[in-house]
Amino acid sequence: MNTKTVIVIGNGMVSHKFCEKLTTKSNNFKLIVFGEEPIRAYDRVHLTDYFGNKTLDDLFLSKNEWYNENNIDLHLHDPIVHIDIEKKRIHSKKDIQIDYDYLILATGSAAFVPPIPGVDKEGVFLYRTIEDLDQIKAYALTANKGTVIGGGLLGLEAAKALVDLGIKESAVVEFAPRLMPRQIDDMASSILQNKLQALGLTCFLQKSTTQILGKNKITGLAFADGSQLDSDILIISAGIKPRDELAKAAGLAIGPRGGIIVDENMRTSDPHTFAIGECALYNEMIYGLVAPGYEMAEVAATTISGEQKLFAGFDMSTKLKLMGVDVASFGDPFITEPHARTILLEDKNKGIYKRLNISPDGKRLLGGILVGEAASYNMLLQTVNNNMPLPEHPETLLLGEQSESKPAGAGLEALPDTALICSCEGITKAQICDAVTQQGCEHADDVKKCTKAGSGCGGCVPMVKDLVAYTMKKQGKYIRNTICEHFNFSRQELFDLIKIHDLRTYDSVLDNLGTGHGCEVCKPLVSSLLASLWNEMILGKGNDVAQDSNDRFLANIQRGGTYSVVPRVPGGEIQPEKLIVIGEVAKKYGLYTKITGGQRIDMFGAHLNDLPFIWEELIAAGFESGHAYGKALRTVKSCVGSTWCRFGLHDSVSFAIQIEERYRGIRSPHKLKSAVSGCIRECAEAQSKDFGIIATEKGWNLYVCGNGGSKPQHAHLLVSDIDSETCIRYLDRFLMFYIHTADPLTRTATWLNKMEGGVDYLRNVVVEDSLGMAETWEKEMQALVDAYQCEWKVAVNNPDIRKRFVHFVNAPSEKDETVKFEEMRGQKKAADWNAPITY
């Protein structure tokens, strides 16, 4: 059989995928690729990581030798300038002329640049290529204020890049009335906007830019409403337009708004020419995501190989993480009455918005939107795509985690084998399960190497991991949950290894036990382990950059970009002098005050700059950090007990104070709450806490693994009628057992629910010492107790740490002017999120 010549114009992700697919299908083709850029194909989906922890080598889609190994001629930095359809010949800029049998147009798209006066000024950039990013990186070194025009997917990625580059005053300007207008609705946009603003990104909506200010280089933007915005650097990401100019000049059919018209085989109006990716117009639609581009590549490769595969449109569901904020939409996110019924969950406190659109009969899921928490995205997407029936109460799907009473893997069990898990690579559930059962893949990374599932956008990786665990469990195999790609260990294994090697910093842990540069999964996890092991100041020894945002500033970030101040009040007991200090501090710094359910006084509305000064005054009055921001002991609630109550059996306040002062500041997999009640009337609600203590006539009853919140769970009685000393000894063991073995972000209730043998096994370990670990755990706990220091006391006395608490590096004393308040019942509150914000 004669070898046929296939020329591919374009060297992006879709072009590379076409080459991969065609070389695996047949050896009867000679592939020749022409690329406009001077470097080989790279991952544009994760382009923003180039500003973070990825190098260009990390982004390349293949090794340089891959092209030679697959008999592919690669011509870089040599765009095609002319196509002769009649002669089936191309002509490149470097004057190369080659005849072909088949031509693949993978020319992609170009950034749409609005006709704004001044777009040619110095400091104005696009956000499409590595070259663009290198230029932005260099220019950003002298910039203090940055702006992005465009609030869509790529625009918000570009805004994240500005923040990653250290430009503290970054803004997004969007013409539409909401962010990501093609993916999410107004309510979701409002939640997203406020979460981004809390992270330092200002959003201007319904803004039409009329001019880019500055003489030779940008100094700002002018808007149609007469307002202006100062800016030293501007990235334009206002949409894309298909690169169809070459095809148009060759006489191929083009859509009225651009795009090379193709049929279901990806053929253009010329039978020997195909178009794939963002340059192709199928059924009057341009597909701007990588997954449909990959599908088009496979369809074209299959057709050229003489096989049959048709393109029938593509699901445009998407999930991404913007500056740490989950955003997802799936199915039809905007369908409304009477074609659907909508279920909404809006939690402004946590910044979570979820919308499910279900069929009028309540039996099928049609689409939805998730902002702030999207762990259930993959299963919800599969429910839509596979027309799976909904549970009797579909609103439970909005709660995120599966009910504890639901059998593990029930959702995956119901998923058909043909369910498409990785849309980028076209990998089904059956193929992933087969990789586990037939090819020995026991980790998601193994499945990725074997099937390529998860190698594209990466959105399917959580479901791939679930399928691996589900399949292995069905085989009766032990499931080893590794942390992430940078650490091939479970949390418990890493905990033990850090202890054995006496590692004290994130960098030393990564150097000795991990690979790569780390990620947003392993950094806070390792930081938590270090804190749990050594109880050292979490912002010391360079560990500050690895912390979650709340730990990084030793305060919970709240609505409007402000912070809360929560001093510890052990047992809820407080002297009048200290009450006066709290009142004076709150009045001086203009803080909202509230007595909480945990018997503390919280102060809200603090500016970042004020935090060290507020804590300086509180510490001088004898207060210490309440650790409201940490995965640590929050409070030990108490009733007044025998000191005042006529029913009280023991002094619950004194014991609560003793307990709280013993375990304060000790980091654990999740936050801990406790309570001590002076009698069975249970005024302190001890049986809904992670550990609770109730007075009896003979001593104390110790309850463990209770849970309040949205999924309450009654605590279990661990042991009865014990004295105070024994109670503390058992608590030491219980807490260390939990710290050693629980998965990340797992409350004690969930930890027990997953424990083989349940509370009986836990009792044997803690009370009967069946593992022989009691003495070790008691010593470890005492070491943590002895190492305690108030983090805020260290912070205010350490100049290097104190430097962190500024909004603007170049103006340390200036506060964030975008923080707005309203009056409510004689106090202030953060301005309502839906209210217009003036500047």
Q: Is 679 annotated as a binding residue?
A: yes
Q: Which residue has the tokens 């340089």?
A: 64
Which amino acid, residue 478?
A: Y
E-assigned strands of 494-624?
Answer: 563-565, 592-595, 601-606
What is the rounded CA–CA span in Å between residue 594 and residue 839?
A: 29
Rounded distance between C-alpha atoms, residue 219 and residue 221, angstroms? 7
CA trace torsion 684, 687, 693, 698 (10° rounding)? 110
User: Rounded to an integer, what distance in angstroms lies between the CA atom of residue 592 and that of residue 606?
Assistant: 9
CA 74 centroid distance within chain: 37
Residue 330 burial by CB count (10 A; 0-12/13-18/19+): exposed, middle or buried? buried
Residue 683 assigned ligand-binding role: yes
Choose among 620, 616, 731, 617: nearest CA to 672: 731
Residues 6+ apart with CB under 8 A from 132: 125, 126
Cβ count near 130 (within 10 Å)? 16
CB 306 within 8 A of CB 29: no
DSSP one-letter code for 389: B
Phi, psi torsion values for 611, nearest 5 degrees: -55, -50
Helix, strand or coil for residue 572?
helix
Give the pairing of strands 280-282 and 285-286.
Answer: antiparallel
- The answer to whether 22 and 301 have CB atoms below 8 angstroms apart is yes
Structure tokens at 549: 């945002």
DSSP of 168-204: SEEEEEESSSSSSTTT--HHHHHHHHHHHHHTTEEEE
Query: Dihedrals φ, ψ of 673, to 5°?
Result: -130, 145
Q: Which residue has the tokens 């011509």?
A: 75
Q: Token pair for residue 369?
A: 């939107």
Binding residues: 639, 645, 679, 683
Binding residues for siroheme: 683
Binding residues for [4Fe-4S] cluster: 639, 645, 679, 683
